[in-house]
Every structure is written in structure tokens, then in C-alpha cells.
Amino acid sequence: MSSPVTKTSFDPHPDTLITAAQRLARGEITSRQLVEHCLNKIETCENARAAFTGDFSAERARQYADAADRIRAKGYQASPWAGVPISVKDLFDIKGQVTRAGSTILADRPPALSDAEAIAPLRDAGFIFIGRTQMTEFAYSGLGLNPHGPQPWNTLIDEGKAIPGGSSSGGAVSVATGAALAAIGSDTGGSCRIPAAMNALTGYKPSAGRISRAGMIPLSPSFDSVGSIARTVSDCALLDHLMAGGNPGHWSAPEPVESGLRLLLPTSFVRNDADAQILAVFETVMRHLESGGIEIVRQPLPLLQDIADLNIQAQIVAAESFHYFHDDLIQHPDQFDPRVSERMMMGEHTSVQTLRQLFIERQKLIARFNAEMSGFDAMVCPTTPILPPQIAACFDPDSYGRFNRLVLRNPSLANLLDGCSITLPLNWKGLPAGIMLTACNGQDSRVQRVARRCEVRLSAS
């Protein structure tokens, strides 16, 4: 078995959010040094530069870093995270900036008067927003492609430029190239977890109601959630804690589940049409987890095929996005990415009665999932069943649709079933793929602890 990696731009910062904060506290580094590292990556790495929108401001980042260093030098520390640089997806309001959500049609909006409610706690904690990141237009694709601006690409397969994964494409690339220590994104059907997996990072989607979405451009309120992309489970857990309103000074990293861990591995659906290399490595990883004392139960989960047959999520997302963007779709159709507007227009004729029935059917599926997960800590499966295709291979509309459906299929289960989910890198020679853990709604702390146990075991591989 040979690695697919040839030439790459994968070069994340050596520090995680937590180790950076620890080194700042010990005086081993400064915030200015952290920021300069990120800025140097943006200036010297084409892919890192493509990860950001035109709102990027190096001088603003330097000013915030210097301010954090001056305060720390005086012995005052409002937050242990003050002065650590992160990136923010372009669909969150940041005070004084225009929120375009990866589009041109929103370019004339007035600057935001305040931060989005998920972003405000991060500013209060002292994080430096190094820049806004590129995304699929209105977050409506899992491939991470956008015709309106610079196109970031996969950091593990630079030759030929493969897709970065989306819709939080720029966020993942910003972290993977070392241009940010973590990224804030959204996740409606896998938009944090897909690009994280495809760039050997950790991506987290919390229970949808856990973090406020006020000040965020919606795609589908029924499925949207606020997530994060980082190097480690603990970094994602930290950002989740803060965005959910937790105290910056009262947080501890999730402790790995030590015993009695049971994972459900469905024997079908999540592995259908999977790349042979992903399946081979995934099975090797499963055996490695089992040899470390983690019980993995392989059994059918008929619920998953019922989900595919009903196609509930696609219909609801199309209807809700069409409703939100209705006026612009009718008045300015030429300003949309046609691959996005085509999917939105599929919701034009969905009636209120049909939507109501879809919501009822969704609740039935959620109840079934919660019941079938009794006795298991999480469901485990490949994050995406395929390796990232070349960007050029996605130009054909049929190929675009097929690839998009495949990369969204597994991650979107957590959104439809109102759960929480995290992806971990497979940790095999830079393979652009991940393993995903999904648990029921409200089990965020538990799934983070499960992920920590898996992360520790994988690091021993």
C-alpha cells in the first residue's frame, strides 16, 4: 500500500491552541511571534493566501498581538487565550466587516454592527481574528469550490490541485498551512468535518442548539450548527466551550474515556461506494483501536438505508435556502454560482404541507437513532468514503453532483439525526481522510471524551 502524498502545502503551526497559551503564559513566545508566523505563511504560501477573503488585514492582526503582549508583560491576563490567532468563516458577522458568505451578491451589504453571538465570546477571550476564510457560496456544497474568488486546494495533494473539502474550505486550509491555529466554521451537512478530514485535521459539529447562530448567514436553520476545525480534540472542545458561553478561565480538556467504550460500526451504507484505500486503512485503524481495548460492534443499521430512501435532508435544505434567498434568486440569478442556485431552486415548489410531513418523518428517524444507539457511546465510520477528487474533475456537472453526494453522505447523518459528531485524521502517511464519531443530541461532552480516547490510541500507531 503506497501513500497518495506527493508534494504538499500541509505545514500546520507546531503549537495547538492549548500549547500556544501555555507557552505564552511561560513567556517562551509572544503573541506577535504567533501572528508573524501566520502572516508569513499567508505571504509565502499561495494556498494559505487563497484561504482568505479580501478582508484580511495584517496590520490589524499585528496591532491586536502587540496589545496582548503589552498587557501580559504587565502581569495582567484577562484570559489564557489572549493573543492566539484563529480564522473565521465568511458567513459570521465580525463587527465592522461585510459578511459575504462566499458570494458576490452580498458584497454591498453594510458592515456588521456587532459580532455574531458565536464569535463575540471568542473576541472576549482575546483570540485574534487573523482573517475571514473562503467558503463554498452560502455553504451549499461539500466540495469547497467557489468561482467568485481565489480557490484554495487540498493541502495533502498539491499536484493537480484536489478539492479542499467544504464548505469551510478556507478554514481547514488556513489551519493546515499554518496560517491560523484553529478555524471557526459552520456545519449543515459536514461543512467542518469534510474539509478537516481531507486535510488531516480534527473537525467538530456540536449538537445544533448548543451554540447561537444569531449573526450567521443561514443555509438551513433546521440543520445549521456552529463548529470548529483544529489540530486536536481538546482545541475543538475549547472553542466549543467558549462559543457555547463557557467561562474562558474555567475550562479543562476532555479526559479520555478509560473503560467500557463501545462503538457501533454499521456494516453497510457508510461504506458503500468507498475508495478501496480508505476502506483498507480504516479497517486497519479499527483493529488498532480494538487492540487498545475499545470494543467495536459491527452490525447492520437499517435506519441508514431508510434515510437514503426518504431523502429528507436534501428536500428541507433546498426549501429553507430557497425561502431565505428567494428575492436574490429571482432578481439576480446570474450572480449566483449556478451549482448553488440550481440546488436552491429545487425547493421552489415544496409546500408547507410537504415540509411539515418531512419534519415529522425526521423526528421519527431521530427517535429511532436514539433508541438504536442505546448501549453504544458513538457510531464510527469513515468521514468521507472517497479521496479528494481533482478540482478539474468536478467541472462536469454530473461529476460534481456525484462527488458532492458522496462526500456529504456520511457526515450529513449527524445533522439529520440532530446529533453531535467529530472527525479525527486517520494518521496514515498523510492520507486525506478521517474517521468520524457520531453520538446523540446533547452528548457533546461524552463524544469529546470518546474522541480523546481514540485520538490517544491513534497517536500510538
Which of 141, 191, 220, 222 is labelled catalytic?
191
- R_g (Cα) of the chain, nearest Å: 21
Active site residue 191: yes
Active site residue 259: no
Which of 167, 174, 222, 225 is labelled catalytic?
167
Q: Is the distance from CB of 117 to CB of 139 less than 8 angstroms?
A: no
* φ and ψ at residue 266, rounded to 5 degrees: -60, 140
C-alpha cell at 120: 463575540
For residue 120, count CB atoms less than 10 angstroms from its CB and return exposed for 0-12, middle for 13-18, buried for 19 or more. buried
Q: Is the distance from CB of 143 to CB of 163 less than 8 angstroms?
A: yes
The most distant pair of C-alpha atoms in the chain lies apart, rounded to whole Å, by: 62
- CA–CA separation, 396 and 139 (whole Å): 20
In three-state secondary structure terms, 152 is coil
Is the bond preceding residue 2 a cis peptide, omega within 30 degrees? no
Q: Which of 321, 64, 344, 87 is nearest to 195 (CA)?
A: 87
> Reading across the β-sheet that carries 128-133, which strands appear in turn?
128-133, 85-89, 183-186, 226-230, 202-205, 420-425, 434-439, 378-382, 262-266, 295-299
Active site residue 167: yes
Q: Is the distance from CB of 225 to CB of 420 less than 8 angstroms?
A: no
C-alpha cell at 152: 484554495
- Containing 296, the helix (H) or strand (E) segment is strand 295-299
- CA–CA separation, 31 and 262 (whole Å): 41
Which of 89, 207, 234, 421 is labelled catalytic?
89
CA 165 to chain centre: 9
Q: In the 8-state DSSP scheme, what is residue 14?
A: S
Q: Would residue 181 be called left, alpha or beta, if left means φ above 0 and alpha means ψ between -120 and 50 degrees?
A: alpha
| Alpha helices in 136-213, H assignment, sequence order | 169-176, 193-198
Catalytic residues: 89, 167, 191
